[in-house]
Amino acid sequence: MTVINRSRLQDCLAHEQQRFIETHPRSKALFERAQQHLLGGVPMNWMVRWAGRFPVFVAEGQGAHFTDVDGLRYLDLCLGDTGAMTGHAPAASVQALTEQAQRGLTFMLPTENALWVGEELARRFGLPYWQMAMTATDANRFALRLARAITQRPYVLVFNYCYHGTVDETFATINDGVVGPRPGNLGPAVNPAQTTKVIEFNDLGALEAALAPGDVACVLAEPVMTNIGIIQPDPGYHAALRAITQRTGTLLILDETHTICAGPGGYTRAHGLEPDLLTIGKPLAGGMPAAAYGLSAEVAERVRSRTPEDTSDTSGIGGTLTANALALTAMRATLEHVLTEEAYAKTIPLAERFTDGVQRVIKEFDLPWNVARLGCRAEYWFRHEPARNGGEAVAAYDADLDRYMHLAALNRGILLTPFHNMALIAPDTTEADIDFHTKVFRESVQALVG
Ligand SMILES: Cc1ncc(COP(=O)(O)O)c(C=O)c1O
Protein backbone atom coordinates (compact mmCIF):
# COMPACT_ATOMS: atom_id res chain seq x y z
CA MET A 1 0.00 0.00 0.00
CA THR A 2 1.26 3.48 -0.89
CA VAL A 3 2.90 5.45 1.92
CA ILE A 4 2.71 9.24 1.64
CA ASN A 5 6.19 10.72 1.47
CA ARG A 6 6.07 13.58 3.97
CA SER A 7 8.80 15.68 2.41
CA ARG A 8 7.18 15.39 -1.00
CA LEU A 9 3.88 16.40 0.62
CA GLN A 10 5.55 19.54 2.03
CA ASP A 11 6.96 20.40 -1.42
CA CYS A 12 3.56 19.91 -3.08
CA LEU A 13 1.92 22.02 -0.39
CA ALA A 14 4.44 24.85 -0.77
CA HIS A 15 3.96 24.78 -4.54
CA GLU A 16 0.16 25.00 -4.21
CA GLN A 17 0.42 27.81 -1.63
CA GLN A 18 2.57 29.84 -4.02
CA ARG A 19 0.20 29.21 -6.92
CA PHE A 20 -2.75 30.24 -4.78
CA ILE A 21 -1.13 33.52 -3.76
CA GLU A 22 -0.15 34.35 -7.35
CA THR A 23 -3.58 33.69 -8.81
CA HIS A 24 -5.63 35.49 -6.12
CA PRO A 25 -4.22 39.03 -5.90
CA ARG A 26 -7.57 40.70 -5.30
CA SER A 27 -8.62 38.32 -2.49
CA LYS A 28 -5.18 38.83 -0.96
CA ALA A 29 -5.57 42.64 -1.09
CA LEU A 30 -9.04 42.47 0.49
CA PHE A 31 -7.77 40.17 3.22
CA GLU A 32 -4.92 42.56 4.00
CA ARG A 33 -7.28 45.55 4.13
CA ALA A 34 -9.72 43.59 6.29
CA GLN A 35 -7.04 43.20 8.99
CA GLN A 36 -7.77 46.78 10.07
CA HIS A 37 -11.37 46.33 11.21
CA LEU A 38 -12.28 42.66 11.05
CA LEU A 39 -10.76 40.48 13.72
CA GLY A 40 -8.32 38.18 11.94
CA GLY A 41 -9.30 39.77 8.62
CA VAL A 42 -12.56 37.83 8.41
CA PRO A 43 -16.18 38.45 9.46
CA MET A 44 -16.44 35.05 11.20
CA ASN A 45 -13.55 33.34 12.94
CA TRP A 46 -13.66 30.00 11.08
CA MET A 47 -12.99 31.76 7.79
CA VAL A 48 -9.30 31.79 8.63
CA ARG A 49 -9.28 28.01 8.42
CA TRP A 50 -9.44 27.66 4.64
CA ALA A 51 -6.51 25.90 3.01
CA GLY A 52 -4.92 29.00 1.44
CA ARG A 53 -3.11 31.68 3.43
CA PHE A 54 -6.26 33.78 3.08
CA PRO A 55 -9.84 32.98 2.09
CA VAL A 56 -11.19 33.46 -1.41
CA PHE A 57 -13.54 36.46 -1.43
CA VAL A 58 -16.75 35.72 -3.31
CA ALA A 59 -18.22 37.96 -6.02
CA GLU A 60 -21.34 35.94 -6.79
CA GLY A 61 -22.79 32.46 -7.05
CA GLN A 62 -25.40 30.66 -9.07
CA GLY A 63 -26.40 26.99 -8.84
CA ALA A 64 -23.37 24.78 -8.24
CA HIS A 65 -20.81 27.45 -9.15
CA PHE A 66 -19.49 30.75 -7.85
CA THR A 67 -17.02 33.38 -9.00
CA ASP A 68 -14.46 35.10 -6.83
CA VAL A 69 -13.25 38.70 -6.87
CA ASP A 70 -10.30 37.68 -9.07
CA GLY A 71 -12.77 36.54 -11.71
CA LEU A 72 -12.05 32.82 -11.14
CA ARG A 73 -14.96 30.39 -11.38
CA TYR A 74 -15.34 27.42 -9.04
CA LEU A 75 -17.34 24.25 -8.88
CA ASP A 76 -18.75 24.45 -5.36
CA LEU A 77 -18.76 21.08 -3.61
CA CYS A 78 -18.84 22.78 -0.19
CA LEU A 79 -22.11 24.57 -0.78
CA GLY A 80 -21.83 26.60 2.39
CA ASP A 81 -21.30 23.35 4.34
CA THR A 82 -24.90 22.37 3.47
CA GLY A 83 -26.36 25.88 3.89
CA ALA A 84 -26.47 26.09 0.09
CA MET A 85 -27.25 22.43 -0.61
CA THR A 86 -30.06 23.75 -2.79
CA GLY A 87 -27.44 25.41 -5.05
CA HIS A 88 -26.80 29.13 -4.83
CA ALA A 89 -29.71 31.50 -5.35
CA PRO A 90 -32.37 28.84 -6.11
CA ALA A 91 -34.91 30.59 -8.33
CA ALA A 92 -38.09 29.71 -6.40
CA SER A 93 -36.61 30.73 -3.03
CA VAL A 94 -35.18 33.95 -4.43
CA GLN A 95 -38.47 34.94 -6.03
CA ALA A 96 -40.42 34.27 -2.83
CA LEU A 97 -37.82 36.15 -0.77
CA THR A 98 -37.94 39.13 -3.09
CA GLU A 99 -41.71 39.32 -2.97
CA GLN A 100 -41.87 38.91 0.81
CA ALA A 101 -39.13 41.50 1.37
CA GLN A 102 -41.46 44.09 -0.08
CA ARG A 103 -44.27 43.04 2.24
CA GLY A 104 -42.32 43.11 5.49
CA LEU A 105 -39.55 41.05 7.01
CA THR A 106 -40.34 40.51 10.66
CA PHE A 107 -43.37 41.10 12.91
CA MET A 108 -43.07 38.81 15.92
CA LEU A 109 -46.43 37.57 14.72
CA PRO A 110 -47.15 34.42 12.73
CA THR A 111 -47.85 34.47 9.01
CA GLU A 112 -49.88 31.84 7.19
CA ASN A 113 -46.76 30.31 5.66
CA ALA A 114 -45.87 28.99 9.12
CA LEU A 115 -48.81 26.59 8.92
CA TRP A 116 -47.74 25.28 5.53
CA VAL A 117 -44.21 24.76 6.81
CA GLY A 118 -45.36 22.95 9.98
CA GLU A 119 -47.63 20.69 7.93
CA GLU A 120 -44.90 19.92 5.43
CA LEU A 121 -42.27 19.17 8.10
CA ALA A 122 -44.74 16.84 9.82
CA ARG A 123 -45.39 15.08 6.50
CA ARG A 124 -41.69 14.71 5.77
CA PHE A 125 -40.32 13.66 9.14
CA GLY A 126 -43.32 12.04 10.81
CA LEU A 127 -43.25 14.22 13.95
CA PRO A 128 -46.56 16.05 14.48
CA TYR A 129 -45.51 19.30 16.22
CA TRP A 130 -42.97 21.91 15.10
CA GLN A 131 -41.26 25.06 16.29
CA MET A 132 -38.88 27.34 14.42
CA ALA A 133 -35.38 28.52 15.22
CA MET A 134 -32.83 30.66 13.36
CA THR A 135 -29.99 28.15 13.16
CA ALA A 136 -29.47 24.47 13.74
CA THR A 137 -27.36 25.43 16.75
CA ASP A 138 -30.40 27.16 18.22
CA ALA A 139 -32.69 24.26 17.37
CA ASN A 140 -30.35 21.91 19.24
CA ARG A 141 -30.01 24.23 22.22
CA PHE A 142 -33.79 24.50 22.48
CA ALA A 143 -34.29 20.76 22.12
CA LEU A 144 -31.75 20.09 24.91
CA ARG A 145 -33.51 22.54 27.21
CA LEU A 146 -36.87 20.96 26.56
CA ALA A 147 -35.46 17.51 27.17
CA ARG A 148 -33.99 18.54 30.53
CA ALA A 149 -37.15 20.40 31.48
CA ILE A 150 -39.52 17.52 30.88
CA THR A 151 -37.33 14.71 32.19
CA GLN A 152 -35.90 16.70 35.11
CA ARG A 153 -32.56 14.99 34.46
CA PRO A 154 -29.24 16.86 34.37
CA TYR A 155 -27.12 15.19 31.65
CA VAL A 156 -27.18 14.98 27.90
CA LEU A 157 -25.32 12.30 25.98
CA VAL A 158 -23.45 12.89 22.72
CA PHE A 159 -21.01 10.87 20.64
CA ASN A 160 -17.28 11.46 20.61
CA TYR A 161 -16.34 14.02 17.91
CA CYS A 162 -19.92 14.84 17.04
CA TYR A 163 -20.75 18.34 15.89
CA HIS A 164 -24.15 19.90 16.55
CA GLY A 165 -23.27 23.59 16.24
CA THR A 166 -21.83 25.87 18.90
CA VAL A 167 -23.85 24.25 21.65
CA ASP A 168 -21.95 24.28 24.95
CA GLU A 169 -23.09 20.87 26.12
CA THR A 170 -21.95 19.21 22.90
CA PHE A 171 -18.38 20.56 22.88
CA ALA A 172 -17.10 17.63 24.85
CA THR A 173 -14.83 14.82 23.79
CA ILE A 174 -13.14 11.84 25.38
CA ASN A 175 -9.57 12.97 26.01
CA ASP A 176 -7.25 10.15 27.14
CA GLY A 177 -10.28 8.28 28.41
CA VAL A 178 -11.73 11.26 30.32
CA VAL A 179 -14.64 13.47 29.22
CA GLY A 180 -13.67 17.14 28.98
CA PRO A 181 -13.76 20.20 26.75
CA ARG A 182 -13.14 19.47 23.09
CA PRO A 183 -9.73 20.78 22.02
CA GLY A 184 -10.25 24.40 20.93
CA ASN A 185 -13.36 24.95 23.08
CA LEU A 186 -13.10 28.63 24.16
CA GLY A 187 -14.30 29.79 27.56
CA PRO A 188 -16.75 27.04 28.45
CA ALA A 189 -19.05 28.16 31.26
CA VAL A 190 -18.39 24.91 33.08
CA ASN A 191 -16.36 21.84 32.28
CA PRO A 192 -18.76 20.00 29.93
CA ALA A 193 -18.15 16.84 31.94
CA GLN A 194 -20.66 18.41 34.36
CA THR A 195 -23.37 18.54 31.72
CA THR A 196 -22.50 15.83 29.25
CA LYS A 197 -21.73 12.15 28.94
CA VAL A 198 -19.69 11.25 25.88
CA ILE A 199 -19.37 7.78 24.41
CA GLU A 200 -18.22 6.39 21.07
CA PHE A 201 -20.76 5.88 18.29
CA ASN A 202 -21.65 2.22 17.58
CA ASP A 203 -20.78 1.12 21.14
CA LEU A 204 -23.94 -0.36 22.63
CA GLY A 205 -22.24 -1.49 25.83
CA ALA A 206 -21.13 2.08 26.56
CA LEU A 207 -24.63 3.33 25.77
CA GLU A 208 -26.24 0.87 28.18
CA ALA A 209 -23.79 1.82 30.92
CA ALA A 210 -24.19 5.58 30.41
CA LEU A 211 -27.99 5.51 30.44
CA ALA A 212 -28.42 2.93 33.21
CA PRO A 213 -28.30 5.40 36.15
CA GLY A 214 -31.35 7.23 34.71
CA ASP A 215 -29.76 10.68 34.89
CA VAL A 216 -29.54 11.42 31.15
CA ALA A 217 -32.28 13.63 29.73
CA CYS A 218 -31.55 12.86 26.11
CA VAL A 219 -29.22 11.41 23.54
CA LEU A 220 -28.47 13.98 20.82
CA ALA A 221 -27.21 12.25 17.69
CA GLU A 222 -26.81 12.58 13.98
CA PRO A 223 -28.33 9.35 12.65
CA VAL A 224 -25.14 8.97 10.60
CA MET A 225 -22.16 10.96 11.82
CA THR A 226 -21.12 13.45 9.14
CA ASN A 227 -18.74 15.87 10.78
CA ILE A 228 -15.75 13.61 11.28
CA GLY A 229 -16.07 11.80 7.98
CA ILE A 230 -19.20 9.83 7.23
CA ILE A 231 -19.63 7.18 9.93
CA GLN A 232 -22.47 4.76 9.31
CA PRO A 233 -24.34 3.07 12.15
CA ASP A 234 -23.70 -0.66 12.45
CA PRO A 235 -26.59 -2.85 11.29
CA GLY A 236 -29.20 -2.86 14.09
CA TYR A 237 -27.60 0.08 15.92
CA HIS A 238 -30.58 2.41 15.55
CA ALA A 239 -33.07 -0.21 16.70
CA ALA A 240 -30.93 -0.82 19.79
CA LEU A 241 -30.44 2.91 20.41
CA ARG A 242 -34.20 3.42 20.33
CA ALA A 243 -34.89 0.41 22.58
CA ILE A 244 -32.29 1.41 25.20
CA THR A 245 -33.34 5.07 25.28
CA GLN A 246 -36.98 4.06 25.66
CA ARG A 247 -36.25 1.52 28.38
CA THR A 248 -34.27 4.08 30.41
CA GLY A 249 -36.74 6.95 29.90
CA THR A 250 -34.15 8.89 27.90
CA LEU A 251 -35.34 11.07 25.03
CA LEU A 252 -33.82 10.59 21.59
CA ILE A 253 -33.10 13.73 19.54
CA LEU A 254 -31.95 13.18 15.97
CA ASP A 255 -30.14 16.07 14.30
CA GLU A 256 -30.93 15.93 10.57
CA THR A 257 -29.11 19.13 9.64
CA HIS A 258 -26.60 17.28 7.46
CA THR A 259 -28.31 13.92 7.03
CA ILE A 260 -31.09 15.64 5.11
CA CYS A 261 -28.75 14.69 2.26
CA ALA A 262 -30.21 11.16 2.56
CA GLY A 263 -33.61 12.18 1.17
CA PRO A 264 -36.48 14.67 1.53
CA GLY A 265 -37.34 13.32 5.01
CA GLY A 266 -33.71 12.87 6.00
CA TYR A 267 -32.23 9.61 7.23
CA THR A 268 -35.06 9.41 9.77
CA ARG A 269 -37.74 8.96 7.15
CA ALA A 270 -35.61 6.93 4.78
CA HIS A 271 -34.98 4.38 7.57
CA GLY A 272 -38.28 4.60 9.47
CA LEU A 273 -36.67 5.95 12.68
CA GLU A 274 -38.87 7.31 15.46
CA PRO A 275 -37.05 9.97 17.50
CA ASP A 276 -38.75 11.95 20.27
CA LEU A 277 -37.43 15.20 18.84
CA LEU A 278 -35.77 16.10 15.54
CA THR A 279 -33.69 19.16 14.70
CA ILE A 280 -32.78 20.62 11.33
CA GLY A 281 -31.37 23.87 9.94
CA LYS A 282 -28.98 24.98 7.19
CA PRO A 283 -30.59 24.27 3.75
CA LEU A 284 -34.21 24.54 4.91
CA ALA A 285 -34.66 28.04 3.51
CA GLY A 286 -32.32 27.90 0.52
CA GLY A 287 -29.45 29.60 2.37
CA MET A 288 -31.47 32.08 4.40
CA PRO A 289 -30.99 31.48 8.16
CA ALA A 290 -33.83 29.25 9.32
CA ALA A 291 -34.16 26.08 11.36
CA ALA A 292 -36.83 23.97 13.00
CA TYR A 293 -37.37 21.29 15.60
CA GLY A 294 -40.08 18.70 15.74
CA LEU A 295 -41.69 16.99 18.74
CA SER A 296 -43.57 13.72 19.10
CA ALA A 297 -47.14 13.94 20.41
CA GLU A 298 -46.01 12.68 23.81
CA VAL A 299 -43.12 15.14 24.11
CA ALA A 300 -45.41 17.96 22.98
CA GLU A 301 -47.87 17.08 25.71
CA ARG A 302 -45.15 17.00 28.37
CA VAL A 303 -43.79 20.34 27.12
CA ARG A 304 -47.24 21.93 27.23
CA SER A 305 -47.75 21.00 30.83
CA ARG A 306 -44.36 22.52 31.79
CA THR A 307 -44.33 25.81 29.90
CA PRO A 308 -46.75 28.35 31.36
CA GLU A 309 -47.70 31.02 28.82
CA ASP A 310 -46.92 33.93 31.10
CA THR A 311 -43.25 33.00 31.40
CA SER A 312 -42.72 31.73 27.87
CA ASP A 313 -40.64 34.82 26.99
CA THR A 314 -38.11 33.95 29.69
CA SER A 315 -37.94 30.23 29.01
CA GLY A 316 -34.52 30.45 27.35
CA ILE A 317 -36.15 29.31 24.12
CA GLY A 318 -36.89 31.73 21.32
CA GLY A 319 -35.32 34.79 19.68
CA THR A 320 -36.75 38.07 18.48
CA LEU A 321 -36.15 37.41 14.81
CA THR A 322 -36.99 33.71 15.03
CA ALA A 323 -39.86 32.53 12.80
CA ASN A 324 -39.79 35.85 10.99
CA ALA A 325 -41.96 36.27 7.92
CA LEU A 326 -39.04 36.24 5.50
CA ALA A 327 -37.56 32.99 6.85
CA LEU A 328 -40.92 31.21 6.73
CA THR A 329 -41.55 32.39 3.19
CA ALA A 330 -38.13 31.09 2.18
CA MET A 331 -38.71 27.78 3.97
CA ARG A 332 -41.99 27.28 2.21
CA ALA A 333 -40.62 28.06 -1.24
CA THR A 334 -37.55 25.89 -0.68
CA LEU A 335 -39.46 22.88 0.64
CA GLU A 336 -42.15 23.21 -2.01
CA HIS A 337 -40.00 23.80 -5.07
CA VAL A 338 -36.31 23.11 -4.41
CA LEU A 339 -35.59 20.36 -1.84
CA THR A 340 -37.96 18.03 -3.66
CA GLU A 341 -38.01 14.30 -4.47
CA GLU A 342 -36.97 15.20 -8.02
CA ALA A 343 -33.92 17.07 -6.76
CA TYR A 344 -32.72 14.02 -4.81
CA ALA A 345 -33.40 11.77 -7.81
CA LYS A 346 -30.80 13.87 -9.58
CA THR A 347 -28.24 14.51 -6.86
CA ILE A 348 -27.93 11.03 -5.34
CA PRO A 349 -26.81 9.32 -8.59
CA LEU A 350 -24.29 12.14 -9.05
CA ALA A 351 -22.89 11.49 -5.58
CA GLU A 352 -22.57 7.81 -6.56
CA ARG A 353 -20.64 8.91 -9.62
CA PHE A 354 -18.41 11.02 -7.35
CA THR A 355 -17.60 8.11 -5.03
CA ASP A 356 -17.05 5.73 -7.97
CA GLY A 357 -14.55 8.20 -9.47
CA VAL A 358 -12.68 8.72 -6.20
CA GLN A 359 -12.67 4.98 -5.49
CA ARG A 360 -11.12 4.26 -8.91
CA VAL A 361 -8.26 6.66 -8.15
CA ILE A 362 -7.76 5.24 -4.64
CA LYS A 363 -7.47 1.80 -6.22
CA GLU A 364 -5.24 2.93 -9.09
CA PHE A 365 -2.69 4.46 -6.70
CA ASP A 366 -3.22 1.84 -3.97
CA LEU A 367 -3.91 4.54 -1.40
CA PRO A 368 -4.80 3.64 2.21
CA TRP A 369 -7.91 5.86 1.97
CA ASN A 370 -11.62 5.18 1.77
CA VAL A 371 -14.57 7.05 0.34
CA ALA A 372 -18.06 6.96 1.85
CA ARG A 373 -21.42 8.31 0.75
CA LEU A 374 -24.72 9.24 2.31
CA GLY A 375 -27.37 10.30 -0.19
CA CYS A 376 -26.01 13.30 -2.08
CA ARG A 377 -23.00 13.74 0.26
CA ALA A 378 -19.66 11.99 -0.19
CA GLU A 379 -16.38 12.12 1.64
CA TYR A 380 -12.95 10.53 1.50
CA TRP A 381 -10.90 9.91 4.61
CA PHE A 382 -7.24 9.05 5.07
CA ARG A 383 -7.75 5.58 6.46
CA HIS A 384 -8.12 2.27 4.72
CA GLU A 385 -11.34 1.09 6.34
CA PRO A 386 -14.24 3.43 7.13
CA ALA A 387 -14.09 4.47 10.80
CA ARG A 388 -16.77 3.07 13.16
CA ASN A 389 -16.61 5.98 15.57
CA GLY A 390 -15.25 9.48 16.12
CA GLY A 391 -12.18 8.34 18.05
CA GLU A 392 -11.04 6.11 15.18
CA ALA A 393 -11.75 8.81 12.62
CA VAL A 394 -9.93 11.60 14.42
CA ALA A 395 -6.85 9.39 14.86
CA ALA A 396 -6.55 9.29 11.06
CA TYR A 397 -6.89 13.05 10.62
CA ASP A 398 -3.91 14.40 8.67
CA ALA A 399 -3.81 18.20 8.68
CA ASP A 400 -1.14 18.63 5.99
CA LEU A 401 -2.65 16.09 3.64
CA ASP A 402 -6.05 17.63 4.16
CA ARG A 403 -4.68 21.09 3.41
CA TYR A 404 -2.89 19.88 0.30
CA MET A 405 -5.95 18.12 -1.17
CA HIS A 406 -8.12 21.19 -0.54
CA LEU A 407 -5.62 23.63 -1.97
CA ALA A 408 -4.82 21.53 -5.03
CA ALA A 409 -8.57 21.33 -5.72
CA LEU A 410 -9.07 25.04 -5.13
CA ASN A 411 -6.22 25.98 -7.47
CA ARG A 412 -7.90 23.91 -10.16
CA GLY A 413 -11.35 25.41 -9.62
CA ILE A 414 -13.05 23.20 -7.01
CA LEU A 415 -14.12 24.15 -3.49
CA LEU A 416 -14.33 21.27 -0.98
CA THR A 417 -15.84 21.60 2.49
CA PRO A 418 -13.18 22.82 4.92
CA PHE A 419 -12.00 20.83 7.96
CA HIS A 420 -12.69 17.58 6.13
CA ASN A 421 -12.89 16.18 2.59
CA MET A 422 -16.57 16.45 2.01
CA ALA A 423 -18.44 17.03 -1.22
CA LEU A 424 -22.10 17.85 -1.52
CA ILE A 425 -24.05 17.72 -4.75
CA ALA A 426 -26.57 20.41 -5.70
CA PRO A 427 -29.47 20.00 -8.10
CA ASP A 428 -27.52 22.05 -10.68
CA THR A 429 -24.35 19.97 -10.47
CA THR A 430 -23.75 18.02 -13.69
CA GLU A 431 -22.04 14.76 -14.64
CA ALA A 432 -19.33 16.86 -16.31
CA ASP A 433 -18.74 18.64 -12.98
CA ILE A 434 -18.30 15.31 -11.21
CA ASP A 435 -15.93 14.00 -13.87
CA PHE A 436 -13.97 17.23 -13.58
CA HIS A 437 -13.58 16.56 -9.87
CA THR A 438 -12.38 12.99 -10.55
CA LYS A 439 -9.78 14.37 -12.97
CA VAL A 440 -8.57 16.99 -10.48
CA PHE A 441 -8.50 14.45 -7.64
CA ARG A 442 -6.40 12.12 -9.78
CA GLU A 443 -3.98 14.91 -10.77
CA SER A 444 -3.58 15.97 -7.12
CA VAL A 445 -2.87 12.39 -6.06
CA GLN A 446 -0.49 11.80 -8.95
CA ALA A 447 1.54 14.89 -8.08
CA LEU A 448 1.84 13.55 -4.56
CA VAL A 449 2.60 9.88 -5.14
CA GLY A 450 2.85 9.34 -8.90
C1 LIG B 1 -25.19 18.12 12.40
C2 LIG B 1 -25.13 19.59 12.63
N3 LIG B 1 -26.00 20.16 13.46
C4 LIG B 1 -26.00 21.47 13.71
C5 LIG B 1 -25.07 22.29 13.10
C6 LIG B 1 -25.09 23.77 13.40
O7 LIG B 1 -25.51 24.49 12.31
P8 LIG B 1 -25.42 26.08 12.37
O9 LIG B 1 -23.94 26.39 12.43
O10 LIG B 1 -26.04 26.52 11.10
O11 LIG B 1 -26.13 26.52 13.58
C12 LIG B 1 -24.14 21.75 12.24
C13 LIG B 1 -23.13 22.60 11.59
O14 LIG B 1 -22.23 22.17 10.92
C15 LIG B 1 -24.17 20.36 11.99
O16 LIG B 1 -23.28 19.79 11.18
How many CB atoms are closer than 10 A to CB 395? 9
Closest residue to atom 3 of ligand 1, CA basis: 164
Closest residue to atom 9 of ligand 1, CA basis: 165
Closest residue to atom 5 of ligand 1, CA basis: 165
Mean pLDDT, the chain, as a whole number?
Answer: 97
| pLDDT value, residue 348 | 98
pTM score = 0.98
Q: By percentage, how much of the chain surpasses pLDDT 70?
A: 100
Average pLDDT over residues 265-276: 98
Give dist(CA 436, CA 269) in Å, integer: 33
Over residues 335-349, the pLDDT tens digits come to: 999 999 999 999 999
Written as one string, the DSSP assignment of 27-94 is HHHHHHHHTTTSGGGSSSGGGGGSSSSSPPPEEEEEBTEEEETTS-EEEESSGGGGTTTT-BS-HHHH
- Residue pair 371/355 in contact by the 8 Å Cβ criterion: yes
Q: Which amino acid is at 234?
A: D
The residue to mutate among 46, 135, 164, having the most atoms of ligand 1 within 8 angstroms of its beta carbon, is 164
306 pLDDT tier (thresholds 50, 70, 90): confident
User: Measured between alpha carbons, how far is residue 200 from residues 63, 159, 197 in Å?
Assistant: 37, 5, 10
| pLDDT value, residue 307 | 77
96 pLDDT tier (thresholds 50, 70, 90): very high
Q: Starting at the edge strand that comes first in sequence, how are the strands of the sheet with 370-374 ordered?
A: 370-374, 377-381, 422-424
| pLDDT value, residue 308 | 79
Give dist(CA 329, CA 318) in Å, integer: 19
**Cα of 167 from ligand 1 centre, angstroms:** 9
**Cα of 164 from ligand 1 centre, angstroms:** 5
245 pLDDT tier (thresholds 50, 70, 90): very high
Give dist(CA 97, CA 95) in Å, integer: 5
| pLDDT value, residue 314 | 87
DSSP 8-state class, residue 142: H
| pLDDT value, residue 344 | 98
Closest residue to atom 13 of ligand 1, CA basis: 165
Q: Would you say residue 450 has pLDDT above 90?
A: no
Question: Which residues' Cβ are closer than 6 Å to ligand 1?
Answer: 81, 135-137, 140, 163-165, 222, 227, 255, 257-258, 281-282
**Cα of 137 from ligand 1 centre, angstroms:** 6
| pLDDT value, residue 301 | 97
Over residues 293-303, the pLDDT tens digits come to: 999 999 999 99
Written as one string, the DSSP assignment of 143-166 is HHHHHHHHH---EEEEETT---SS
DSSP SS3 for 291: strand
Average pLDDT over residues 147-166: 98
Over residues 308-322, the pLDDT tens digits come to: 788 888 889 999 999
Closest residue to atom 4 of ligand 1, CA basis: 164
User: Measured between alpha carbons, how far is residue 239 from residues 150, 251, 265, 316 in Å?
Assistant: 24, 14, 18, 32
Q: Is the dihedral of CA 137, 139, 143, 149 positive or negative?
A: positive
The residue to mutate among 134, 162, 163, 224, having the most atoms of ligand 1 within 8 angstroms of its beta carbon, is 163
**Cα of 227 from ligand 1 centre, angstroms:** 9
427 pLDDT tier (thresholds 50, 70, 90): very high
**Cα of 165 from ligand 1 centre, angstroms:** 4
Closest residue to atom 14 of ligand 1, CA basis: 165
The residue to mutate among 141, 166, 258, 282, having the most atoms of ligand 1 within 8 angstroms of its beta carbon, is 282
Closest residue to atom 6 of ligand 1, CA basis: 165
**Cα of 163 from ligand 1 centre, angstroms:** 7
**Cα of 58 from ligand 1 centre, angstroms:** 22
**Cα of 266 from ligand 1 centre, angstroms:** 15
Q: Would you say residue 69 has pLDDT above 80?
A: yes
Average pLDDT over residues 393-403: 96
Q: Would you say residue 244 has pLDDT above 80?
A: yes
| pLDDT value, residue 313 | 86
Average pLDDT over residues 193-211: 98
Written as one string, the DSSP assignment of 205-263 is HHHHHHHTTS-EEEEEE-SSB-SSS-BPPPTTHHHHHHHHHHHTT-EEEEE-TTGGGG-
Closest residue to atom 15 of ligand 1, CA basis: 164
120 pLDDT tier (thresholds 50, 70, 90): very high
**Cα of 119 from ligand 1 centre, angstroms:** 23
What atom of ligand 1 comes closest to residue 82's alpha carbon? 14
**Cα of 333 from ligand 1 centre, angstroms:** 22
Q: Would you say residue 147 has pLDDT above 80?
A: yes
Over residues 354-367, the pLDDT tens digits come to: 999 999 999 999 99
